[in-house]
């Protein structure tokens, strides 16, 4: 008789930025299959998802991955349900209209590695600043590169867990990094970002670090790049249409719903979307070919392939919920009159 450790992961009810929570369920003779993961409950009154007088919320397993850091372990991503089985109001995944997985998403997750003792990004001296940004991006060597051991270990964990992990690079500021994930299906893309964040956050416990997802952790007035989570997306139309006119119609569909997008693109994003540091202003909307200062970038590869490819929404912040981001993008793309 064997026993397995199933780590149930969910998002709490904190607003506007949800946090990950998890707890372990030990089961006997587990098959490793999602359909054999039981619905579980938790105390929603401790996570701002229920009152003390009626505190039970349910965890519905929606994706499972091997846990590369635990013997006989599995990572179980879940949705939060009310006690009657309906989606909880905090459940952004349940709002995604992509049941046929026609939408593909590639997220670029940026973040800062912070030292728990100094409360500063790696490479920042106490009471001062490192050399200005410029030499950190895709750097090599101990003078400009900080945190590589953790980043490499995180990449190995994600790959071993079966996530479609596509790459890593140091970003523009000291102690700032990025990784990329891609999935065919919006819900799957969201699942993999959250599981990858879980693996990253859990890994920091071994290092005396923590991960800062705030889009502008060094202050809005500091001359350092913020952190985003650029959303690359496509559907069958974008992948096959071969039409600049169609692309422009889809981009224009985003113009009248800027506020609706910004509302789910992450807390404190106004500090990052200033029109500087490779961002468009939060008050404007724009799109352009190969333009990293636009709200939406049309990749040059898409144009070179005859207007067959994808778009990149550069506005989502690093602390955004990929479920809500994908759900809003899908709604807007489907509203375009093609």
Which of 165, 146, 126 lies closest to 207 in space, CA to CA?
146
Cβ(105)–Cβ(192) below 8 Å: no
pLDDT of residue 197: 98
Q: What is the pLDDT of residue 275?
A: 82
Each of the 338 residues of the chain gets a pLDDT tens digit; together they read: 799 999 999 999 999 999 999 999 999 999 999 999 999 999 999 999 999 788 999 999 999 999 999 999 999 999 999 999 999 999 999 999 999 999 999 999 999 999 999 999 999 998 888 988 889 999 999 999 999 999 999 999 999 999 999 999 999 999 999 999 999 999 999 999 999 999 999 999 999 999 999 999 988 777 788 999 999 999 999 999 999 999 999 999 999 999 999 999 999 999 999 988 778 899 999 999 999 999 999 999 999 999 999 999 999 999 999 999 999 999 999 999 88
Whether the CB-CB separation of 175 and 121 falls below 8 Å is answered with: yes
Residue 54: predicted pLDDT = 85
pLDDT at residue number 278: 79
Predicted local distance difference test score (pLDDT) of residue 47? 97
Model pLDDT, residue 128: 83
Quick one: tokens of 161?
Answer: 């867990």
Listed by start position, the domains of the chain span: 3-91, 104-335
Cβ neighbors of 64 (< 8 A, separation 6 or more) are 32, 33, 34, 37, 74, 75, 76, 77
CB–CB of 169/155 below 8 Å? no
- pLDDT at 337 (0 to 100): 83
User: CB count, 10 Å around CB of 321?
Assistant: 23
Query: pTM value?
Result: 0.96
Write a three-state SS string for the chain.
CCEEEEEEEEECCCCCCCCEEEEEEEEECCCCCHHHCCCEEEEHHHCCCCECCECEEEEEEEEEEECCCCCCEEEEEEEEECCCCCECCCCCHHHCCCCCCCCEEEEEEEEEEEECCCCCECCCCCCCCCCCCCCCCCCCCCCCCCCHHHHHHHHHHHHHCCCCEEEEEECCCCCEEEEEEEEECHHHHHHHHHHHHHHHHHHHCCCCEEEECCCCCCCCCCCCCCCEEEEEEECHHHHHCCCHHHHHHHHHHHHHHHHHHHCCCCCCHHHCCECCCCCCECCCCCEEECCCCCCEEECHHHHHCCCCCCEEECCCECCCCHHHHHHHHHHHHHHCCC
Please state which of the four CATH numbers 3.40.50.2300, 3.40.50.1860, 3.10.20.70, 3.40.50.1820 is assigned to the domain occupying 3-91: 3.10.20.70
Return the pLDDT at 178: 98
Burial grade of 258 (CB within 10 A; 0-12, 13-18, 19 or more)? middle
Q: What is the architecture, at CATH level 2, of domain 104-335?
A: 2-Layer Sandwich (3.30)
């Amino acid at each position: 008789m064997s026993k397995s450790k199933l780590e149930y992961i969910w998002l709490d009810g904190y607003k506007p930025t949800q946090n990950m929570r998890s707890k372990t369920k030990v089961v006997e003779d587990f098959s490793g299959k999602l359909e054999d993961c039981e619905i579980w409950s938790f105390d929603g009154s401790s996570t701002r998802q229920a009152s003390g007088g009626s505190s039970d919320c349910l965890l519905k397993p929606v994706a499972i991955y091997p846990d590369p850091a635990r013997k006989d372990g599995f990572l179980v991503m879940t949705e939060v349900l009310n006690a009657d089985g309906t989606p909880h109001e905090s459940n952004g995944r349940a709002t995604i209209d992509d049941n046929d997985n026609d939408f593909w998403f590639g997220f670029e997750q940026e973040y800062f590695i912070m030292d728990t003792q100094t409360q500063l990004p790696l490479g920042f001296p106490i009471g001062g600043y490192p050399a200005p940004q410029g030499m950190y991006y895709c750097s090599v060597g101990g003078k400009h590169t900080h945190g590589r051991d953790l980043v490499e270990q995180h990449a190995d964990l994600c790959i071993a867990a079966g996530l479609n992990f596509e790459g890593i690079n140091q970003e523009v500021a000291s102690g700032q990094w990025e990784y990329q994930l891609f999935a065919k299906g919006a819900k799957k893309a969201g699942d993999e970002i959250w599981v990858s964040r879980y693996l990253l956050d859990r890994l920091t416990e071994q290092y005396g670090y923590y991960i800062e997802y705030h889009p502008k952790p060094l202050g809005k007035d500091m001359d350092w790049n913020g952190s985003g989570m650029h959303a690359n997306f496509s559907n069958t139309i974008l992948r096959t249409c071969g039409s600049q006119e169609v692309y422009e119609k889809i981009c224009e569909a985003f113009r009248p719903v800027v506020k609706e997008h910004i509302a789910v693109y992450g807390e404190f994003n106004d500090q990052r979307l200033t029109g500087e540091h490779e961002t468009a202003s939060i008050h404007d909307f724009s799109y352009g070919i190969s333009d990293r200062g636009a709200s939406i970038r049309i990749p040059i590869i898409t144009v070179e392939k005859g207007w067959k490819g994808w778009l990149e929404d550069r506005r989502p912040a690093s602390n955004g919920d990929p479920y809500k981001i994908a759900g809003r993008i899908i709604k807007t793309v489907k509203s375009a009159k093609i």
